[in-house]
Amino acid sequence: MAAITNTKAPKPTLFIDGQWTHSSSGQSRPTINPFDASIITHVDEANAQDAERAIQSARKFQDTSDWSSRTFASRAPLLKKIAELLQKNKAELAKIETIDTGKTIGESEIDIDDVTAVFEFYAEEGIKYDKPKVITGKGIPDTVTSQVTKEAVGVCVLISPWNYPLLQICWKLAPALVAGNSCIVKPSEVTPLSTIYLHKLMLEAGVPPQAIQILTAGGQSVGPTLTTHPSVDLVSFTGGLATGRSIIRSCAETVKRCCVELGGKNPNVIFSDVPLDIAIDMALTAVFVHSGQVCSSGARLIIEDKGSFANDVVAGVVERAQQIVLGNGLEQGTECGPLVSAAHLEKAKGFIEVGKSEGAKLLCGGKQAEDPKLSKGYFFLPTVFDQCDRSMKIVQEETFAPILTVERFKAGDEERAIFLANDTNYGLAAGIQTADKDRSLRIAKRLRHGTVWQNTFGAYTPRAEWGGFGWSGNGRELGSHGLDEYVESKHIYAEK
C-alpha cells in the first residue's frame, strides 16, 4: 500500500459539509498507476476528526432538511441527470479509471455504461416506492386503515473496493440517493480517483452538497469512526472477507444495518457436450478478464473428464492464455492490464508457491511478466494449474489474480460436479456450460450461489439482484432488493 506522507494533496479531495477541503491531519497518500508504478497524484488522507465532521454534517442534513421527506419521484430526476453526465464525461472518466486501476480503456467504458444504466434503473424503480402498500383482509377491521410506507434509513456509510471503483460505489449511491439518504463515501485508498470525479458530476447534477460527503483515506484512518459511530444508521461495504467480518463486528454495538458484499471462489462447470472452441473460450474469459481481479471471476474450472475433452480444453486454454496481450490499458490492442499494486503482485506470487507445494501442476504463467516493456508495472502472467483438488488452498481461497485451477469429474457424474461447485465457503457466482438444457436447469437449482450463468459467464443487469450465499456476503445490490437495503418500512395503522 502506498505510504502516507506529511504533505497536503495538490487539490483538496475530501468533501465535508458541502465544501472541498484538505484533511485536518495535513497528510496525503499517493495514488499509483499500476502500469508503470508512477505516482498519478496525491489524495488527502482523512482521519477520525474529518470522519466525525462528515458524520455530523450528514446527520444534521438528514434530520433538518426536507431531503428525506420528499418523494422518491422528486429525487429521481437527479439520478437521470447523473446518468446523462456520466455519458457526457465518459471519455475523461474512462481514462481516469484506467490510469488508476490498470484495466483496459474498453473495460472502463463498459463500467461507465453499466453505471449509467444503474442510475437510470433506480430513477424508475424509486418512483414505485412512493406508493404505500395498503393492507386489507383477514385481521384488519373495517374501522382501520393499515398501510406500509417506505422511507430513507438515514446516514449511510458506503465503502468500496479497488477493482471496480466506479461501478461498486454507484451500485450503492444510486439506490441510497433515490431513497433520500445522506451518504458518506469512502473509496478504496488504492483507486480513489474516479469516485472523486463522480462526486463532481453528482454536485453538477444538483444533488444537495450535504447529501454526499467524501473521505479519501485508508480503512484504518476512518473505518473505526465510520462503522461504530452512533449517528451512522447503515454501513454498506464491498471488499474482502476479513474486512467484512471486522465491519460486521463494528456495526454490532450500535445495531447498524450492515450490508457486506465480499469475495468469491467461483466454479465454472463445463460438460463435454459443449463444442471445444466454445468451452475453451468460456473457461478463458471467465477467469482472465481484468487480470482475474473480479469478485465473480470463474477461477475454478470443473470439467467433465470424457475422452480427450478435458485435456483438449485445458490445452486450448493454456495456448490462448499465453497469447493474451498484456499492456497499457490506454493502448488499443491491450487485452489485460496489470495487477493493481505491488502488494497485490506479491500476493499473487505467494499463491503460486502455495499451489506448487500442494502438488498442483503449473501449466503456464505463475510469475511476473518478463517483457521489458512491462517491467515497471505489476504484470502477472495468466496462469493455469492442473491436477487440482478440493483440499488445496489454491482451490478454496480467493486469489483475485489471473490464476485458473482445474478440477475434473468422471464422465456423466453430475452429482460430483454439483458437489464440487458447492464445495466452497463462498457462494457468489457459478457457471454451468452444457448443451443439455434439462441438466443445466437441474444443476442451476442446486447450486448455492447468488448468480448462476448458463452457457455464458459474467453477465449482469441492474434489474436483477446481485450478491452471494455463504461467505460472499449478507445482502443484495441491484434489483429492487438493492433499493430495499436503503429503505425503512413503516407501518401506519390508523382508526378511521
Enumerate the active-site residues. 261
Does residue 398 interact with ligand NAD by CB under 6 A?
yes
| C-beta of 402 vs 468, nearer to ligand NAD | 468
Binding residue (CB under 6 A) for ligand NAD from 104, 163, 213, 268: 163
Does residue 482 interact with ligand NAD by CB under 6 A?
no
Does residue 246 interact with ligand NAD by CB under 6 A?
yes
Binding residue (CB under 6 A) for ligand NAD from 41, 188, 236, 434: 188
Burial (0-12, 13-18, 19+ Cβ within 10 Å), 228: middle
Residues with Cβ within 8 Å of residue 356, at least 6 apart in sequence: 362, 366
SS3 280: helix
Residues numbered 421-450 forming contacts with ligand NAD, rule: CB under 6 A: 428
| C-beta of 24 vs 246, nearer to ligand NAD | 246
SS3 439: helix
Element (H, E) at 138: none
**Type of residue at 176:** A
| C-beta of 62 vs 163, nearer to ligand NAD | 163
Q: How far apart are CA 332 and CA 311, in angstroms?
A: 33
Instruction: Provide the minimum distance between the beta carbon of 451 and ligand NAD in the complex, in angstroms, as a whole number.
Output: 10
What phi and psi values does residue 480 have, to the nearest 5 degrees? Answer: -70, -30
Q: Measure Cα distances from 18 to 45, 198, 208, 344 in Å.
A: 18, 15, 8, 35
Q: How far apart are CA 290 and CA 199, in angstroms?
A: 25
Does residue 201 interact with ligand NAD by CB under 6 A?
no
| C-beta of 109 vs 397, nearer to ligand NAD | 397
Strand order across the 267-270 sheet: 361-364, 383-386, 403-410, 300-305, 267-270, 429-433, 451-454
Residues numbered 168-187 forming contacts with ligand NAD, rule: CB under 6 A: 168, 186
N- to C-terminal Cα distance for the chain?
A: 62
Does residue 345 interact with ligand NAD by CB under 6 A?
no
Does residue 298 interact with ligand NAD by CB under 6 A?
no
Binding residue (CB under 6 A) for ligand NAD from 34, 154, 165, 223: 223
Using the rule CB under 6 A, give the single segment among 55-63, 109-117, 259-267, 478-486 that binds ligand NAD.
Answer: 259-267
Does residue 238 interact with ligand NAD by CB under 6 A?
yes
Q: How far apart are CA 414 and CA 216, in angstroms?
A: 48
Using the rule CB under 6 A, give the single segment among 4-12, 53-61, 105-113, 238-246 that binds ligand NAD.
Answer: 238-246
SS3 132: coil
Binding residue (CB under 6 A) for ligand NAD from 85, 118, 156, 247: 247
Q: How far is CA 324 from the centre of its chain?
A: 24
Q: Where are the beta strands (DSSP E) in 398-481?
A: 403-410, 429-433, 451-454
Q: How far apart are CA 10 and CA 28, in angstroms?
A: 9
Does residue 377 interact with ligand NAD by CB under 6 A?
no
| C-beta of 258 vs 270, nearer to ligand NAD | 258
Does residue 473 interact with ligand NAD by CB under 6 A?
yes
Instruction: Provide the minimum distance between the beta carbon of 390 and ligand NAD in the complex, in angstroms, as a whole number.
Output: 20
Does residue 292 interact with ligand NAD by CB under 6 A?
no
Instruction: Provide the minimum distance between the beta carbon of 221 and ligand NAD in the complex, in angstroms, as a whole number.
Output: 8
**Type of residue at 273:** D
Does residue 262 interact with ligand NAD by CB under 6 A?
yes
Does residue 2 interact with ligand NAD by CB under 6 A?
no
Residues of the shown chain interacting with ligand NAD in the complex, contacts defined by CB under 6 A: 159-164, 168, 186, 188-189, 218-220, 223, 227, 238-240, 243, 246-247, 261-264, 295, 398, 400, 428, 468, 472-473
